[in-house]
Amino acid sequence: MRDDLILVTGAGGFIGGSLVADLRRQGCKRIRAVDIKPFGEWYQKFEDAENLVLDLETRENCLLAARGARRVYNLAANMGGMGFIENNKALCMLSVLINTHMLLAARDCGVERYFFSSSACVYNAEKQKDPEVTSLKEEDAYPALAEDGYGWEKLFSERMCRHFREDYGLATRVARFHNVYGPHGTWDGGREKAPAAICRKVIQAKVSGGKEIEIWGTGERTRSFMYIDDCLKGTQMILASGLTEPVNLGSSELVSVNRLVDLVEGIAGVKLKRVYLPGAPQGVAGRNSDNTRLRSHLGWEPSIPLREGLEKTYSWIYDQYMKRQRGERALS
């Protein structure tokens, strides 16, 4: 297996770059890493991988990316936190071109296993109206009422994976990621998600002597957050598994945004006055991952405590922030 050619798309981004790093650590020798961003802007760069800068919205480029590959991790997508996906619905939906052309290319190039990163944004909004949520089971995606734009694209692409498996025999595997965070993730610029945004704001206040923190919404919405190492482990286990139906891959440690801020303040050793912005994008009221299906197939589920993951994330963002303050090049 270590000599098989593995394709990772979206390799210039957070999860893709971290997956390439992890595959290298395990001794995989032939990794093709593909992203649309110029190589200089990739979050993690490995000269010993085959690095290709390609726009995977076209079929031609997907064929270039997939040729000779036995396993494909398709992580390329236009995405970001709530602020980004609420204001870029058309752009998010255009990721359907990536998934369509990658599936066709995988079929035509004889790929053996194909992973698609779906999202908890596929779930029916009606089932996420209460911050005291009942965790979402996979069947709660239907009847469909996904997050507009981004979520509908993911749901449609999930179904394409299913039909490519049924009609063409391509072994597709689909995981619904629930909020992934960690070092090497986007932490500034508009696409960052809540854990990184809160770390950055707390660092900014601590470094500048600020006394306040702005929080999108009322602080009462709840989510679970999965540390990157759990995401990488689960992703690879799911691809290797017999799990043909979409499966949740998320932490089940539910926290409110206020609790998330408490944790980051605790790590930073500061206490800030909270200024709530109820009109800012904030998504559904509550969402958690039911991991019954994952556990029953893999005997495993994400377990890295939020506090532990946040410490590592905070420390990485702190370093990036300070680099930027000194005029050095920071990541993301």
Question: What residues act catalytically?
Answer: 150
**Residue whose CB is nearest to ligand NAD in the complex, by number:** 13
Residue 180 found at the interface with ligand NAD (CB under 6 A): yes
Residue 265 found at the interface with ligand NAD (CB under 6 A): no
Q: Which is nearer to ligand NAD, 12 or 246 (CB)?
A: 12
Amino acid identity for residue 209 in this structure? G
- Binding track over 54-73 against ligand NAD, x by CB under 6 A: -xxx----------------
Of these, 8, 72, 79, 317, which contacts ligand NAD (CB under 6 A)? Answer: 79
Give the range of 141-149, 159-167, 175-183, 237-245 binding ligand NAD by CB under 6 A: 175-183
User: Which pair of structure tokens corresponds to residue 12?
Assistant: 């210039």
Residue 209: is it exposed, middle or buried by C-beta count within 10 angstroms (0-12/13-18/19+)? exposed
Distance CA 47, CA 45 (A): 6
Q: Which is nearer to ligand NAD, 72 or 272 (CB)?
A: 72
Of these, 5, 7, 8, 14, which contacts ligand NAD (CB under 6 A)? Answer: 14
Distance CA 264, CA 121 (A): 25
Tell me how many degrees the CA angle 234-133-117 measures, rounded to the nearest 5.
30
Distance CA 250, CA 8 (A): 21
Residue 117 found at the interface with ligand NAD (CB under 6 A): yes
Report in angstroms how near the CB of residue 53 gets to ligand NAD at its nearest.
8
Give the range of 130-138, 174-182, 252-260, 269-277 binding ligand NAD by CB under 6 A: 174-182
Q: Which is nearer to ligand NAD, 55 or 108 (CB)?
A: 55
Of these, 5, 6, 8, 13, which contacts ligand NAD (CB under 6 A)? Answer: 13
Give the range of 126-134, 173-181, 254-262, 289-297 binding ligand NAD by CB under 6 A: 173-181
Task: State CA 228 to chain mean position distance.
Answer: 9
Of these, 76, 136, 199, 257, which contacts ligand NAD (CB under 6 A)? Answer: 76
Sheet holding 6-9, edge to edge: 50-53, 31-35, 6-9, 71-74, 113-119, 171-177, 247-249
Give the range of 34-42, 125-133, 236-244, 270-278 binding ligand NAD by CB under 6 A: 34-42
Report in angstroms how near the CB of residue 287 gets to ligand NAD at its nearest.
11
Distance CA 188, CA 199 (A): 10
The dihedral built from the CA positions of residue 12, 14, 18 and 19, taken in this order, carries a sign that is negative
Q: Which is nearer to ligand NAD, 225 or 314 (CB)?
A: 225
Residue 320 found at the interface with ligand NAD (CB under 6 A): no
Residue 306 found at the interface with ligand NAD (CB under 6 A): no
| Structure letter (DSSP) for residue 141 | G
Q: Are 275 and 214 in contact (CB under 8 A)?
A: yes
Distance CA 301, CA 286 (A): 20
User: Which pair of structure tokens corresponds to residue 204?
Assistant: 């900014």
Q: Which is nearer to ligand NAD, 35 or 265 (CB)?
A: 35
Residue 157 found at the interface with ligand NAD (CB under 6 A): no
Q: Are 192 and 13 in contact (CB under 8 A)?
A: no
Q: 205: helix, coil or strand? A: helix
H or E element that contains 217: none
Tell which residue, 178, 183, 158, 175, has the closest CA to residue 314.
183
Of these, 172, 179, 282, 313, which contacts ligand NAD (CB under 6 A)? Answer: 179
Residues that bind ligand NAD (CB under 6 A): 10, 12-16, 35-37, 55-57, 75-79, 98, 117, 119, 177, 179-180, 186, 193
